[in-house]
Amino acid sequence: MIIQYSPYTLRPRTVLNAAQGGVAKTRQGVLLKVTWPDGRIGYSDLHPWEELGDKNLSEQLQDLKAGRLSYQLEQSLWLANRDSHLRQAGKSIFDEGIKVINNYILTDYLSAPDGLVDEIKQQKFNTVKLKVGMNLDSEIEFIARLASANFQVRLDFNSVGSLKIFEKFYNKLTPLARASIEYVEDPFRYNYEQWMQASQMLPLAMDNEVHAVDWSQETEPLPFGTLVLKPAKCDVNTYLKWAQNFNLKIAVTSYMDHPVGVIHAVGVAMELQRDYPEVMLEAGCMTHALYQLDEYSAQIDCSGPYFKRVTGTGVGFDNLLAKAQWLNL
């Protein structure tokens, strides 16, 4: 197996989450090109978020070279393998699975134009996801606006809060706003008792804190009802098993990564929607829109909350991947 990589930079339109410390920084990652001994070639993304506990890029590339695979590297290779089979068969990832609806993602609502909420409504989104924990009072105000416009709301604290902050936050929400909240993702660092208390206030979802859960010991009820599955770093079968054993729902999301990673996530979401519709909630894969347009994202076309088919085989972008510069590990 030959692995090559191609570095890229993504330029956020705005600050992406509370874990980023309030500054919109450019983001580095690499695309991977994997050639198997039988001649199959597949592509995937490797986009570490050190802020969320991933090893940095150069460490991960060294690990990849040495065959030490993190969760993230395992997923990158698994996704490249999926892509290679589709390419070999001349199929697009959009030929598999069924269309999934996505939530709208808003990171910069504090400077959002007045008409934004109406515009999202017109585009027929049901659900809006907000990254919170940066400015609670204005966030609470904005949630109230979304609730009065009849949106379902997903919130993500990226574990920067605490039970105390969460209580304060909850107490300031109007009953209408509370009722609009589908779930709160990673309200603060995982602690069974404290998450249990928080879950008495609002439904919780588990994303980045998943390895803090003792899955062999835990019994129902868990303090969260939803698992956020990022194909970029989560093993799909393990998540399905947890969902079935603990009666959880799954929301598939992209990893605020490269468009190649985004379409891989959409592909996994579409397949799970076909095979396990009873488990699946709306997806959250439209993170490419958080970055300035580049030649890859220019090939992604959405119609409201739905992705349109991307041209090409596998995850698409055939013309761009063919002309990218590939470096040896």
Q: What residues make contact with Mg ion under the rule CB under 5 A?
A: 156, 185, 207
When CB distances to Mg ion are compared, the closest residue is 207
Task: List residues bridging with 228 in a β-sheet.
Answer: 251
Distance CA 45, CA 317 (A): 13
Q: Give whichever of 31 and 228 is closer to Mg ion, judged by the CB atom.
A: 228
Q: How far is the CB of 263 from Mg ion (least distance, A)?
A: 20
Q: Minimum distance from CB of 29 to Mg ion (Å)?
A: 18
Cβ of residue 232: shortest distance to Mg ion, in angstroms?
Answer: 12
| Residue tagged active-site, from 33, 91, 172, 230 | 230
Check if the beta carbon of residue 252 is closer than 8 Å to that of residue 283. yes
Question: 254, 284 in Cβ contact below 8 A?
Answer: yes
In the bound state with Mg ion, the residue whose beta carbon lies nearer, of 83 and 156, is 156
**Residue 42 CB, nearest approach to Mg ion (Å):** 27
Residue number, 54 or 185, with CB nearest to Mg ion: 185
In Å, what is the CA distance from 66 to each residue of 232, 234, 244?
A: 20, 21, 35
> Does the active-site annotation cover 121?
no
Omega before 221 cis (within 30°)? Answer: yes
What's the N-to-C CA distance of the chain in angstroms? Answer: 12
Say if residues 179 and 151 touch (Cβ distance below 8 Å): no
The minimum distance between CB 228 and Mg ion, in angstroms, equals 6
Catalytic one of 33, 129, 131, 233: 131
Distance separating alpha carbons of residues 243 and 229, to the nearest angstrom: 11
| H or E, element range at 297 | none
Q: How far apart are CA 315 and CA 64, in angstroms?
A: 22
In whole angstroms, how far apart are CA 204 and each of 42, 96, 137? 36, 31, 20
Annotated catalytic residue 131:
yes
Q: Which is nearer to Mg ion, 92 or 253 (CB)?
A: 253
Nearer to Mg ion, 94 or 169 (CB): 169
What the block records as the tokens of 16 is 């992406």
* Residues 173, 280: Cα–Cα separation, whole Å: 27
Q: Of 44 and 107, which has the nearer Cβ to Mg ion?
A: 107
Minimum distance of Mg ion from residue 49's CB (angstroms): 10
Under DSSP, the state recorded for 299 is G
Give the distance, in angstroms, between the CA of residue 147 and the centroid of all CA atoms in the same chain: 23
DSSP state of 87: H
Tokens 């134009």 sit on residue: 113
Catalytic residues: 131, 230
